[in-house]
Structure 1
Amino acid sequence: MRNYLLPLALCGSLLLTLGCGGDAATTASAPPATDDTAVADAHDHPTEGPHHGTLVELGSDEYHVEVIHDATSVTAYILDHSAKKAVPIAAKEVTINLVHNGTPEQFKLIASPEATDPSGQSSRFVLADAELVEHLDDEASSPKLSVTIEGTPFTGKIELSHDHSGHAH
């Protein structure tokens, strides 16, 4: 009986020593868990576009759309992941879907290429429609922008700032 206890005790001791020692070394050398990544992402995430408009995130921050409007028209600019550089796309239109008085409505902003956009592509889309402007300013309308970029459909929620100090209606 004694012959069995000694090897068993040695194996048990070895497992405990290696198990505890390995975990302790790993735990001691591992950096403390922090949320610095989330803080850095929050600081790196743009808050407005190059035209000082509202940003709409598309996908997992793959693209952004900057939405600006005055009293009679709405313009959408397709931007890169950093929301700084224009991204011309082959689409002929982008769509804004919203709900007004319980009824779904759809508005199509038509391609209006910038002078620097390649032929057949546009990074700017425009619609002159005071009704759309009014609906975008209605917090209950829940507007969403839809666009297809390189064959991939994207949809993003438009959350306009309702501070009207910069423009009049």
Structure 2
Amino acid sequence: MKFARNLAVLACLFTVGCGAKPVSDSGDDPDMVMMEGAPPDSHGHPEHGPNGGELIELGKEAFHLEMLHDDQSVTLNVLNGAASEMVAIDAAELSVSLKQDDEVKTFALPASNSTDGKASSFTITSTEMAGWMKEGAEGAVTLQIDGKSYTGKISHDHGHEGHDHEGHDHD
């Protein structure tokens, strides 16, 4: 019995330790590291684009696409790596391949704001594509930016957690 009690006391002493440093909130602790900005392992980008659309990552966040859709149309906006500003690319249209159930279909989204042969926004008026997105179709879009090819995975999140439904409703 004494052995068990002594063992428990010894275990407590090892757990608590000795000589703990007092906590200081003065800011001049030499062991304290001050960091500006987000921690290195956090995602330093928004979850939604500047217009509230879903973000599609391109090239390990080198660029993003913002997808906006309603019952009539689908728009893809090309954004910078921070997903904060539109980026004009040399393209007349974007090609999106979607799969729903066992059917695969490709949709062409023409440039909707072309200036000097470059555009940052691509829109299709198609109740079929909008319906596929509403039903949870998945697919991909491939595009060229400054001579480099990027592929983005398209999937409409129906988990609804943390998902803004402004601009498109679900039945």
TM score, norm. by length of structure 2: 0.68
Structure 2 counterpart SS, 1:95: strand
Mark the CA change 1:134 to 1:150 in structure 2 (over 3 Å): closer, same or farther: same
- What stretches of structure 1 of length at least 5 have no aligned partner? 1-30
Which letter does structure 2 place at the counterpart of 1:151? Answer: G
Alignment-derived partner of residue 92 in structure 1? 92
Structure 1 match to 2:119: 122
Q: Which has the larger radius of gyration?
A: 1
Which aligned pairs between 1:39-78 and structure 2 lie closer than 5 A? 39=42, 42=43, 44-78=44-78
Check whether the contact 2:141–2:154 (CA below 8 A) recurs between aligned residues.
Answer: yes
Matched, 1:149 2:145: yes
Counterpart Cα distance in 1 of 2:71 and 2:103: 23
Provide the rounded CA distance (Å) in 2 between the counterparts of 1:94 and 1:131: 17
Instruction: Report how far residue 143 of structure 1 moved.
Output: 2.1
* Structural RMSD (CA): 2.0
Letter in 2 for 1:99: K
- Number of aligned residue pairs: give it: 128
Give the structure 2 partner of residue 161 of structure 1.
157
Shift of 1:165: 4.3
Task: Please give the alpha-carbon distance, in whole angstroms, between the structure 2 residues aligned to 1:165 and 1:62.
Answer: 26
In the TM superposition, residue 131 of structure 1 has moved relative to its aligned partner by: 0.7
Return the TM-score normalized by structure 1: 0.69
Larger helix percent:
1
- Counterparts of 2:79 and 2:150, CA distance in 1: 13
Q: Any unmatched runs of 5+ in structure 2?
A: 1-32, 34-38
Structure 2 match to 1:16: none
The residue identity in structure 2 corresponding to 1:161 is D
SS at match of 1:158: strand
Structure 1: 4+ residue segments shifted above 4 A? none
Of 128, 131, 134, the match for 1:134? 131
What is the aligned partner in structure 1 of residue 41 from structure 2? Answer: 38
